Structure 1
Amino acid sequence: MKSDRLERMRRWQQRYVDEGKYPGSSLLIRRRGEEQYFHAAGLRNIEEDLPFTRDTLVRLYSMTKPVTSVAVMYLLEQGLFHLDAPVSDFLPEFKDMQALVPGAVRISQTRPCTAPTLHQLLTHTSGLSYPFNPGVLPEAMAKEDLLFKPDHGTLAAMVTRLAGLPLAFEPGSRWEYSVSTDVLGRVAEVVSGKPLGRLLQEVIFEPLGMAETGFQPTSGAGNRFASLYTPLAGDAMALNSAETGTGSLRLTDSYPQSPFWQSEMHSGGGGLIGTIDDYMAFTEMLRCRGRSQDGFIISPQTADFMMQNHLVGDIASMGPQSFAEQPMEGMGFGLGGAVVLNPARARCPGSAGDFSWGGIASTFFWVDRQFDVSVVFFTQLAPSSSYPARPELKALVHGAIAE
């Protein structure tokens, strides 16, 4: 990668800080396994003037989803289930499911449907949703505060509450970003007989040396745990009623008082905290087709299977009505992350087959196996739709690749 072009990234990171868009950020790039670029800019905590550093811990939010999905595939390789199995085989509360009828305006307007399969949960075609999406089901979820927050009790109890609501649509008929991966996390607990945090620790974190990743900040993390900011006047997660605030960096979760310190919730869809080097270890494992330092987390064939498009076309062709962390045109979806089908249709530089996902605090990662590149970007600003940082970053990285 061209050093003078890598310098553009340093200026880009600093510009976002200087313009008051991000409090700070870190960016790590590896190519063919070798580090090509690392830089941290700005602050992890504005109030205390603490710099964003390489060992800063951040809320990964939805970048938890690919991690949980790999753990599910690890269990699949043990022969413990198949992907067309209905979730009710493992979580009986999902038996006798109902789905909203097309055009429903009330949560009571339903008809019987099948329970989602594990594959539909992995691909966000399950009929589940998120409270911040538009629609009847999201409104009901918001009313009952079904968002799997760290102070919302246990995963088992939250999943049971979720199962009491109907689905937004018949499983398999549409794509909608959802709490599906949280439900998968509960399935993983039932199948393995272990809390999700312990399963991830044993199966992924320890083999990859991810010593500072978990559902709570690690012991001794202290003020290395970054604070979270938002440009919105209200709840940073309330995308349906988002109102721009008077300041671009309003504090919304201060590290000393963060509920993550006492988190009971093992949210497989959004609960992990970690450092950039830890997440790069996970990203590199995907680039290397499941390989860890001492063997394989999942087989190369399973890793390839995960990073293929599992939809009938791109996301846009499946009638989405939801928020998403990625473009929808020219983008497919694998098991736990998005897959570039056509960079031109996605209107963003990249390679067909790029596998990626992000978090609502504007974090982002992708794997480009055509050019053997892994990229992890960290900041802490919610929501991630605030600025077009992700396509800008992809353009910067592709502009620096010398072939």
Structure 2
Amino acid sequence: MQRYVDERKFAGASVLIARGGQEVYFDARGQRNIARDLDFTRDTVVRLYSMTKPITTLAAMCLIERGMFHLDAPASEFIPAFSDMRSLIKGAERLDQVEPCAVPTIHQLMTHTSGLSYPFNPGVLPRAMDEGDLMFRPAQGNLADMAERVAALPLAFHPGKRWEYSVGIDILGRVIEVVSGQSLDKFLREHILGPLGMTQTAFRVPKATGERFAALYTPLAGDAMALNTARKGDDSLRLADAPGSSPFECTTLFSGGGGLVGTIDDYMQFAEYLRSGMTGQGARIVGPRTLEFMMRNHLPGDIASMGPQSFAEQPMQGMGFGLGGAVVIDPARTRAPSSVGDFSWGGMASTFFWVDRAQDLSVVFFTQLAPSSAYPARPQLKALVQGTLT
């Protein structure tokens, strides 16, 4: 971490490691706000971005355990705008080159096999999403309206035929709202964040956070999320989102795919729940068999075998995908030391976590640099941690 700070790759960073349910390491280096000369500390609040996805998926599994819906249910059962689905034909060059297709299922939303996409991916659909700014940003209206706008576009491919990183878990968040009758932020607070004691995690920067909310930086010259046109800038730590004017301080749209902010101790509570199946108070959110089911590979092989053409927060070779996160199925092919069954995911601001139940290990890494593909910090961190184990 100190080397990354010295080389102006990260402004600041922190890492928290627990083994067997006990904290064994914490350190923080650098700054959370360069302009204000504020240190990156243990209570720094960061943008979790896609590390929101496993939390939202766990929330959906709470409802599935209650029999409120099932994984093969079509999205149209909850969002009627998805009823008449079309998919781009193979080799399509225009948005009107489509054919009828099946409606994506809840399972396909969770596993990024739905045919949905992201604006920063390559292709016809991502280009249309980019033009419409379909990014589920914090201040972009509300979740119901954004889900309707996504449903109005064709899918990039027939559901189940490919893997492509997508807004599927944002759509899942809307399903949770429809089924539960609660807004996504309220449902998460009552059923996930509250029981886990994650008091500093929310869709809006919590009140009384003060100057603990970190600034976001980027090495790119333009939009930190515009990966299709990405080019390096003159400043490796250019300010991309500043506290005091951040949309995360006035959130109206609850993005289940990337909208939460929080602290490293809060996220460790979530990681430890995945590892042990019990909250810090000894309660459980879902049954152990449901948790085990979530963290199994739900693809027919690894991600690479499903012809991905998109950005991803993880390697694709040797890596399968569970419900809301990646699963190691062949450590050698991922080219990073790990255990079979490791469950993990990261966020666009280069945050990362993984749970290794074979080693009773939970690791959470925080920084604030977008995009997460800028540097190989994640495999380097995995190698460092694995190298300490006996």
Give the structure-2-normalised TM-score.
0.99
Contact 2:269 2:279 in 1 (8 A): no
Q: CA deviation at 1:222?
A: 1.6
Aligned residue for 1:309? 297
In 1: Cα distance, 2:90 partner to 2:98 partner? 9
Q: In structure 2, what is the equivalent of residue 146 of structure 1?
A: 134
Aligned position for 2:253: 265
Residue deviations 1:287-339, cap 9 Å, x none? 01354524111110000000000000000000000000000000000000000
Are 1:130 and 1:179, in contact at CA under 8 Å, matched by a contact in 2? yes
**1:251-297 alpha-carbon deviations (Å, 9 max, x no partner):** 01001110111110100000000000000000000001354524111
Shift of 1:125: 0.1
Instruction: Give the alignment partner of residue 228 of structure 1, picking from 216, 222, 246.
Output: 216
Please give the secondary structure, in 1, of the residue aligned with 2:344.
strand
Q: 1:281 aligns with which of 248, 269, 287?
A: 269
Contact conserved, 1:58 with 1:378, CA < 8 A, in 2?
yes
Alpha-carbon distance in structure 2 between the residues aligned to 1:292 and 1:24: 28
Equivalent residue, structure 2, for 1:251: 239
CA contact (8 A) 1:148 1:265 kept: yes
Using the alignment, how far apart are the partners of 2:35 and 2:298 within structure 1? 45
CA contact (8 A) 2:87 2:101 kept: yes
Correspondences of 1:160-171 after superposition (within 5 Å): 160-171=148-159
- Give the Cα separation in 2 of the matches to 1:291 and 1:69: 17
> Contact 1:291 / 1:300 at 8 angstroms: preserved in 2?
no
Letter in 2 for 1:60: L
* Paired AA for residue 227 in structure 1: A
Contact 2:318 2:333 in 1 (8 A): yes
- Whether the aligned pair in 2 keeps the contact of 1:289 and 1:304 (CA below 8 Å) is no
1:13-28 map, 5 Å: 13-28=1-16
Q: What is aligned with 2:226?
A: 238
Is the 2:221–2:231 contact (alpha carbons within 8 Å) kept by the matching residues of 1?
Answer: yes
- CA distance in 2 between counterparts of 1:103 and 1:95 reads 24
Q: Is the 8 A contact 1:340 1:355 kept in 2?
A: yes
Find the residue that maps to 1:80 and give its secondary structure.
coil
Opposite residue 243 of structure 1, the aligned amino acid is: R
Unaligned runs of 5+ in 2: none
Structure 2 letter corresponding to 1:101: I
> Which of 69, 74, 86 matches 1:98?
86
Checking the alignment, whether the CA contact within 8 Å between 1:229 and 1:252 is kept in structure 2 is yes
1:223: Cα distance to partner?
Answer: 1.0
| Number of the residue aligned with 1:89 | 77
Please, which of 354, 361, 366 is the counterpart of residue 373 of structure 1? 361
Instruction: Tell me the residue number matched to 1:111.
Output: 99
CA distance in structure 2 between the aligned counterparts of 1:346 and 1:281, rounded to whole angstroms:
27
Using the alignment, how far apart are the partners of 1:73 and 1:248 within structure 2? 40
CA contact (8 A) 1:291 1:298 kept: no
State the shift of 1:186 in Å: 0.1
**Structure 1 residue 126 corresponds to structure 2 residue 83:** no
Tell me, what secondary structure is at the counterpart of 1:257? coil
Q: Supply the AA of the counterpart residue of 2:289.
A: Q
RMSD: 0.6
Tell me how far apart the structure 2 counterparts of residues 259 and 239 of structure 1 sit (CA, whole Å). 20
Q: How many residue pairs align between the two structures?
A: 390
CA distance in 2, matches of 1:293, 1:330: 36
Q: Say if 1:223 and 1:256, in contact at 8 Å, map to a contact too.
A: no
Aligned residue for 2:350? 362
Counting aligned pairs with the same residue, the percent is: 65
Contact 1:212/1:218, CA 8 A, preserved across alignment: yes
What secondary structure sits across from 1:151 in the alignment? Answer: coil
Does structure 2 retain, via aligned residues, the 8 Å contact 1:107–1:136?
Answer: yes
Match of 1:66 among 41, 54, 72: 54
* Alignment match, 1:298: 286
Amino acid at match of 1:111: E
Letter of the aligned partner of 2:148 in structure 1? T
Residue 202 (structure 1) aligned with residue 190 (structure 2): yes
Rounded Cα–Cα distance in structure 2 between residues aligned with 1:290 and 1:335: 19
SS at match of 1:111: strand
Aligned residue in 1 for 2:24: 36
Deviations 1:127-178 (A, max 9, x none): 0000000000000000000000011110001001111000000000000000
2:92 partner letter: A
Whole-angstrom CA distance in 2 between matches of 1:295 and 1:209: 11
Equivalent of residue 320 in structure 1, options 295, 305, 308:
308
Q: What amino acid is aligned across from residue 85 of structure 2 in structure 1?
A: M
Q: Residues of 2 paired with 1:170 and 1:82: CA distance?
A: 20
User: 8 Å contact 1:290–1:299 — kept in the other structure?
Assistant: no
TM-score by length of 1: 0.96
Provide structure 1 residue ranges, at least 5 long, that are not aligned to the other structure. 1-12
